[in-house]
A and B are shown apart, each in its own frame.
Chain A
């Protein structure tokens, strides 16, 4: 009964390929995020969705396209993968009411582009 789950956990692929990472949450939260953590452990927000609508897009290249089929899912599709896309990608949700300051992170997807 993991609150925020991501698949796959590891993804190794060739440059130029297209890949998707999936995120699912069972917390019933309206707001979901994608973050990228680079090799120096720096964590940066990429996108934010609220109830299936895009709220934040942090100047991420067009090759990255988030898709939210329903409130419980926020997937990340990446076209034409580049070496610099290698990183750990985290999905997160934001609590509501008294817990609205709390973000709940998934376990991460480790992407390696060769």
Chain B
């Protein structure tokens, strides 16, 4: 059973454009995380959001956790080629168990 729906699965944009990735679930999570994975490497944690309605910023990346703690979004402003990669959202369950979304493959062309 897929608990986290992530969209879009693929995104190809030009440098300088803005984009938003969505992560939706029917389940409530204690927290939600966003990871970035580059080719040939493991995922690296970008952020953890814990409180419903929480907004966190990491330079040009803005992460939001829904009020009901079931959904989240990642917004990138003025995307750069260095942002290219696979973005994964993950809901955190008990014992640190992560439930991942399908991932969004982002390609930013110069």
Contacts and interface: CB of A to CB of B under 8 A. Distances in A.
B96 A100 contact: yes
B40 interface: yes
B102 A56 contact: no
B42 A101 contact: no
Interface string B38-58: 001111110010000000000
Interface stretch (A12-20, A42-50, A62-70, A76-84): A42-50
Contacts of B37: 41
Contacts, number: 51
A43 B95 contact: no
A90 B42 contact: yes
A104 B41 CA distance: 12
9 contacts: A40-B102, A43-B100, A44-B100, A90-B42, A94-B96, A101-B96, A102-B45, A107-B42, A108-B40
